Structure 1
Amino acid sequence: MFRFVLTVISAVCIWALGVTTPVIAENAHTAGKTPASVVFLNPGFSNEPFWVGYSDFMQAAAYDLGMQLQIIYGERNPSQLLEKARELLIRDNPPDYLIFVNEMYTAPELLRQFADSPIKLFSLHSTLTPEQQQRIGASRERYRNWIGSLVPNDEQAGYWMAKALIAKLEGKPGSLLAFAGVRFTPSSSLREDGLHRALREHPEIKLQQMLQGEWKRQRAYEQAQLILPRYPEAKLVWSANDEMAFGVMQAAQEIGRQPGKDIYLSALNNSDEVLQARINRKLCVLVAGHFTLGGWAMVMLHDYHAGLDFAERGGKDRVDPLFSLLDAKQAAHLQKRLKVPGFGLDFRQFSAVYRPQLKDYQFSIQPLLQ
């Protein structure tokens, strides 16, 4: 009954948005097979909007694909996350797949723990760094049960944000302040790399200071209270996520500076609040899309479980262009779309099981912007 009601609600919402989702017939690849069971070691807090939304997208994919998914939150504590991972090894019914994130560079220890386990591992969001892989190898090498990875174009996202901010000055010299995430986190480091690439292309822009806001609004707010008066000429503020951007925005407004007019801010993420800020043009630059990563990973594991190796459809280790710059109109569309049950998608349409002609997954945020 619940599924029927949910389906009816989804259909009405999808019709209202003008979204068309194809009806896809059942496929012989799935007939008689035990559904894949997956555990996702989510590194975030269980009440953290980004990571909760990230998990919701995964759950929607799991539902459509008939997979079993359990989310285990690490509460931003690497030791706690590794301990919860160890508990999976002694379960009576362990999962088929474990999805992990290389947060705080914990991946090598996790791979070591599961080296002799039948559980297959998949790295998501941030995989092992090139330096780590030089020491222990890539997926399907030393650790044969580490079958692949999917990460977003983080470096490109950092670059796009910086380029779009710099464009606000129309070629004039200027100053920029930057707020990075957690030190020793690959996604933060890559976004910083993108920022520095853009700055090399624009020697007329001076980076006055880079601060570690640690993804937190309050920390960035406190830092901005000190640094904004120190650099009154700085009109550009680059932030590696939305929470830090909002912290800076609050501090700027408290000293009489108007976001979008005499100070230009960038942000990255897809919360309702940040989308609204882009719609209202308090944020001049917004990049979003990586919250979809988990859902696409479920598609890949679903196909792998059915005997269709994703390595043959774009490679075993993917860096997909999931990030996109959003203008105000796109932000408004995405804001509505994220409130539709099931996100208005049938995830089977992205699967090689149901689309045998599929040669490359080519994952992106575009299905949610249409």
Structure 2
Amino acid sequence: MLRTVGQGLCLSLPLAAGAQAASVVFLNPGHSNENFWVSYSRFMQAAAQDLGMELRVQYSERRADLALSQARAILKGPQRPDYLVLVNEQYVAPEIIRLSRGSGVKLFLVNNGLTATQASSIQAQPERYAPVLGTLTGNDEQAGYQMLREMVALLPRSSGPVDLLAFAGIKTTPASQLREQGMRRALADFPQVRLRQVVYGGWSRQRAYEQAQLLIERYPQVQLVWSANDEMAFGAMQAFEAAGRKPGVDTVFSAVNSSPEALRARIDGRLGVLMGGHFSVGGWAMVMLHDDARGVAINRDGLREHSLPVLQSIDQAKARRWLKLLEEDDHGVDFQRYSAEGRPADYQYPFLTSPVDY
């Protein structure tokens, strides 16, 4: 059952027969009509359905102030969930961790974990902050690195310089920072590639379009356009096309995200490189929360923080397969199969070490 509550979409799921469902609230940092974050919630909903859990999703509409007020209402309200899943978008996590102290709600971070500075500050003041049950993040730095390497491989062999533009997301978002770091690491392997400018498009198609209109005039010889998400890639692409450029022919574009539009652009060649799969992190978190609620240890390897190899390169064949899977409510995944419940003590979650091939 879907219903709107406050500023977010709530997904209330029926209890599994004969079982008391663990209750989870996901504080989604995105817009309620934003393709990536909606698909992210949908994958979590599929996991909750399969695992017999209750899931509510509240969208913060990319507003840090709204995320904090929602967290406060959840943690201080009369009907608190068993678990609160949150994202350290725009650095909101420390304040939410502080607010949760004494609430009885277990916290789990996904996609954007604490920065080193934040973690150090929290560790230095244990009396002010609640413990965090676990953290699952994607391989963002590696994805940024691999994306640029694959872009360069698509260029014709030439000894001349190659101009690159980069569209990063938000400066205060760890995933954006890591993808940019990976891109800069790859630059060291290609001295012929000249990074002309990095701009922060805020994950927005319109903003990237406006930025790209100016940049293409400033750097008319650009051959590579690296983007930290699909919306910015399409905004930049629109500006280049308006200037008479041909994506996939005279300019190589890359993107992160596996939206239907991005998958189709990968199939038709307008996107030369596409990384995706990180929409699944919240679903894997649900598997671990299910196990924790059943009394099963989830830090089976002794670690509370994990970086998952979820972001993977999507070629044209995989893009066609993923487009079909998007039509299935559960993405073709049996989440029960990944649970540690009833498994030997040495069982490790497969998604922690290998990407799931959908």
Secondary structure at the residue paired with 1:340?
A: coil
Secondary structure at the residue paired with 1:341?
A: coil
- Contact between 1:105 and 1:185, CA under 8 Å: does it hold in 2? yes
**Greater shift after overlay, 71-80 or 168-177?**
168-177
Q: Structure 1: which amino acid aligns with 2:67?
A: L
Task: Kindly report which structure 2 residues correspond to 1:38-77, keeping only aligned pairs within 5 A, or say none.
Answer: 38-77=24-63
Correspondence 1:245 to 2:233 = yes
Equivalence for 1:298 = 286
Q: Within 1, Cα distance between the matches of 2:128 and 2:189?
A: 39
- Contact between 2:338 and 2:350, CA under 8 Å: does it hold in 1? no
- What runs of 5+ residues in structure 1 fail to find an aligned partner? 3-29
Equivalence for 2:218 = 230
Equivalence for 2:100 = 114
Task: Kindly report which structure 2 residues correspond to 1:84-163, keeping only aligned pairs within 5 A, or say none.
Answer: 84-137=70-123, 143-163=129-149
Q: Deviations over 1:165-205 (max 9, x none)?
A: 12223464311000010121111000000011001222221
Equivalence for 1:317 = 305
Equivalence for 1:26 = none
Q: TM-score when scaled to structure 1?
A: 0.87
What number of residue pairs does the alignment pair up? 341
Equivalence for 1:17 = none
- Contact between 1:182 and 1:212, CA under 8 Å: does it hold in 2? yes
Distance 1:141 1:66, change over 3 A: farther
1:90 positional shift: 3.2
1:107 positional shift: 0.8
1:79 pairs with one of 65, 90, 107: 65
Distance 1:48 1:31, change over 3 A: closer
Q: Within 2, Cα distance between the matches of 1:334 and 1:219?
A: 28
Considering fraction of residues, name the structure with more helix.
1
Q: Within 2, Cα distance between the matches of 1:126 and 1:356?
A: 31
1:362 positional shift: 2.9
- Contact between 1:349 and 1:355, CA under 8 Å: does it hold in 2? no
Distance 1:134 1:58, change over 3 A: same
Q: Within 2, Cα distance between the matches of 1:167 and 1:299?
A: 38
Q: Deviations over 1:318-357 (max 9, x none)?
A: 1010000111111111111111122112210111115446
Distance 1:358 1:274, change over 3 A: farther
- Contact between 1:155 and 1:191, CA under 8 Å: does it hold in 2? yes
Q: Within 1, Cα distance between the matches of 2:186 and 2:269?
A: 23
Q: Structure 2: which amino acid aligns with 1:62?
A: A
Q: Within 2, Cα distance between the matches of 1:237 and 1:184?
A: 22
Equivalence for 2:6 = none
- Share of identical aligned residues, percent? 50
Q: Structure 2: which amino acid aligns with 1:215?
A: W
Q: Structure 2: which amino acid aligns with 1:91?
A: G
Secondary structure at the residue paired with 2:271?
A: coil
Q: Deviations over 1:292-329 (max 9, x none)?
A: 01100000110111111110147321101000011111
Q: Structure 1: which amino acid aligns with 2:312?
A: S
- Contact between 1:313 and 1:361, CA under 8 Å: does it hold in 2? no
Correspondence 1:196 to 2:184 = yes
Secondary structure at the residue paired with 1:236?
A: strand
Q: TM-score when scaled to structure 2?
A: 0.90
Equivalence for 2:257 = 269
Q: Within 2, Cα distance between the matches of 1:197 and 1:216?
A: 25
1:135 positional shift: 1.2
- What runs of 5+ residues in structure 2 fail to find an aligned partner? 2-15
